[in-house]
Amino acid sequence: MSKKRGGKKVRVDFRQNRNDRARSDDWTRRFLAEDNRLADATSKESVRAKGALSRKRTVIESDAAGAAAEEASWIRGVVTIVHGLICYVEDAEARVWSCTVRRILRTRSIDTRSPVTVGDEVWLAATADSDQERTGVIERVAERRSLLSRRDRRARAHAIVANADQLLIVASVAQPGLKPHLIDRYIVAALAGNLAPLICFNKIDLRADDRIELEDLEELTVGDEPQRMQRPTIESVIGELRGLGYRCLETSAARGDGIDELREAMRGRTTVLSGQSGVGKSSLLNAVQPGLALRTAEVSVDNEKGKHTTTHARLIRLDTGGYVVDTPGVRAFELWDVATGDLEAHFPEIASRVADCRYGDCLHIDESDCAVRAAAEAGEISARRYWSYRKMLADAGEARR
């Protein structure tokens, strides 16, 4: 913001541009520590890396009158695509603007790797407005009412979609095989981000041997000795999730099973589609709204891994009302901003028993008089879900370390 404009000065935090000191030798400190330093030195110089203390800046916040006059010319819209440094924004008249993000928004000290994501409600200042070109600069981002995010490789929050109503977790019963633990992770991410989870078991036309891919789920210690877990079936996983109150749909994009029910579940809502690569997210969207013609690809016969046909999250308006966000497929989903002590709240079968544990900070692993562990030993809660909770707890602790 220009410093010529009236308003008050405020100090704000900005991102650090490096975490380690730039020099391995601290010449200033070594000089000051020497006995033969110059007694008559009247000035000193220090060289240090930019760190937390130096990443502050003074900016001018406009006064109420100046801000009102400036903001009156801004255009409000919703981000539909984020492609690198360019955000595409659709306004109330369905016009699409190609926008950059005001630098101060990009450099402010925040946990996310980008201050703007698909679904964000934003205000933009137009820089060109004609039938041939509509460009602008995003000046402000509205407070988000929900957010789906995950941890990226640099331990930052990757905000995937903002302001959605529900997360449609798409899993396939075959090609690729079902991964119940990945579904559990998506459910936790949805609940933590204030989205309602909706689970879609796709490709039911390929159901044959009822095989489930269980990663390293082989044994689980719920008592004094490790015990072999009973291998779950597709029906048992669906039954577990329905028993916990989660809505589950069974669909086939190829055959048309369950498409009408899915279309009705998405009507009038903003829905995010997520799931591993190859489960058929784009195929489902093409079936829900014929004419979208989203790209699809076959799953590899050798390793049953899908190809990334969707490379960027994209907000799509539905003919039946509402929006859908098609997101890129993933093979792993690392949770973000779910503390170990809060994880239990996103497992209803665990949360209902927390008050009966002896210790208020019980993590339900090996503590004495743990009501949750006792329920797992007695078979009152799903051993698979209990294992899933413990794996997420261990992964969260490892990520923090």
In tens, the pLDDT along 18-66 reads 445 555 556 666 666 655 555 545 555 544 444 444 455 555 455 555 5
What is the CATH number for 88? 2.40.50.140
Lowest-confidence pick of 47-56, 103-112, 114-123, 344-353: 47-56
Tell me, what's the pLDDT at 55?
Answer: 53
Q: How far apart are CA 97 and CA 300, in angstroms?
A: 38
Is 97:88 a contact under the CB 8 Å cutoff?
A: yes
What's residue 11's pLDDT? 58
Quick check: is 194 in a domain? yes
DSSP 359: S
Residue 375 — very low, low, confident or very high, per pLDDT cuts 50/70/90?
A: very high
Domain count for the chain: 3
List the beta strands (DSSP E) in 255-349: 269-274, 314-317, 322-326
In a domain, 57, yes or no: no
Q: Which of 173, 169, 184, 316 is nearest to 257 (CA)?
A: 173
pLDDT at residue 80 greater than cutoff 90: yes
| Residue that terminates a domain, selected from 326, 351, 383 | 326
Same-domain pairing of 225 and 312: yes
Q: What percent of the chain has pLDDT over 70?
A: 64
Cis amide linkage into residue 197, ω under 30° from 0: no
In a domain, 154, yes or no: no
When mean pLDDT is compared across 24-33, 170-179, 274-283, 364-373, the lowest value belongs to 24-33
Q: Where are the alpha helices (DSSP H) in 175-309?
A: 180-192, 234-243, 259-266, 281-288
- The pLDDT, as a whole number, for residue 196 is 97
Same domain, 216 and 90: no
Per the structure, the complete domain to which residue 360 belongs is given by: 340-400
Question: Whole-prediction pTM value?
Answer: 0.76
Q: Do the Cβ atoms of 115 and 123 come closer than 8 Å?
A: no
Asked if residue 286 and residue 221 are part of one domain, the reply reads yes
Q: How confident is the model at residue 2 (pLDDT cuts 50, 70, 90)?
A: very low
Terminal alpha carbon distance of the chain:
39
Residues 6+ apart with CB under 8 A from 94: none
Record the tokens describing residue 17, joined without a space: 């541009």
Tokens read off for 152: 């990226």
Please give the sequence-ordered ranges of beta strands (E in DSSP) within 1-45, or none if there are none. 7-13
Are 305 and 191 part of one and the same domain?
Answer: yes
What are the backbone angles phi and psi of residue 90, rounded to the nearest 5°? -105, 125
pLDDT value of residue 300 = 43
Angle at which helices 234-243 and 383-400 cross, to 10°: 80
Determine the pLDDT at residue 295. 60
373 with 283, same domain?
no
**Is the pLDDT higher at 179 or at 71?**
179
Query: pLDDT grade, residue 318 (50/70/90)?
Result: very high
CATH number of the domain within which 308 lies: 3.40.50.300
Question: Which residue, of 109, 143, 177, is where some domain finishes?
Answer: 143
In a domain, 169, yes or no: yes
For residues 310 and 327, give the distance between their C-alpha atoms in angstroms, rounded to a whole number. Answer: 7
Give the residue-averaged pLDDT of 381-387.
Answer: 90
Residue 41 placed within a domain = no
Mean pLDDT of all residues belonging to the chain: 78
Give me the phi and psi of 288, to 5 degrees please.
-65, -40
Res 218: pLDDT: 47
Q: How many CA atoms lie within 13 A of 64 on its CB side?
A: 0
Higher pLDDT, 97 or 299: 97
pLDDT at 89 over 70: yes
Q: What is the pLDDT of residues 122-144, one digit of tens each?
A: 999 999 999 889 999 999 999 99
60 is a domain residue: no
More confident residue, 339 or 72: 72
Query: What residue type is 377 in one-letter code?
Result: E
Phi, psi (degrees; rounded to nearest 5) at 145: -90, -15
Here the CATH number for the domain that contains residue 368 is 1.10.40.50
Among residues 286, 304, 326, the one where a domain terminates is 326
Residue 2 inside a domain? The answer is no
Considering only 11-20, 96-105, 285-294, which range has the smallest mean pLDDT?
11-20
Q: Tokens for 86, please give them.
A: 């360019």
DSSP alpha helix (H) spans, 101-222? 103-107, 180-192
Q: How many CB atoms lie within 10 A of CB 270?
A: 21
Euclidean distance between CA atoms 374 and 81, whole angstroms: 48
| Strand, helix or coil for residue 236 | helix
The pLDDT score that the predictor gives to residue 66 is 53
Beta bridge partners of 138: 101, 124
Q: Do 132 and 171 lie in a common domain? A: no
Are 283 and 357 in a shared domain?
A: no
User: Both 200 and 317 in a single domain?
Assistant: yes
pLDDT tens digit sequence for 157-177: 678 899 999 999 999 998 888
Name the pLDDT band for 282 (thresholds 50, 70, 90): confident
* Percent of the chain topping pLDDT 90: 40
Looking at the structure, do residues 313 and 174 belong to the same domain, yes or no? yes
280 and 167 together in one domain? yes
Q: Is residue 18 part of a domain?
A: no
Cα(282)–Cα(295) distance, rounded to whole angstroms? 7
pLDDT (0 to 100) of residue 73: 87
**pLDDT mean over 298-311:** 47
For residues 107 and 59, is the Cβ–Cβ distance under 8 A?
A: no
What is the distance between the alpha carbons of residues 252 and 280, in angstroms, rounded to a whole number? 9
Q: Are residues 318 and 215 in the same domain?
A: yes
Say yes or no: 231 and 372 in one domain.
no
* Reported confidence tier of residue 333, pLDDT bands at 50, 70, 90: low
Q: How far apart are CA 78 and CA 83, in angstroms?
A: 15
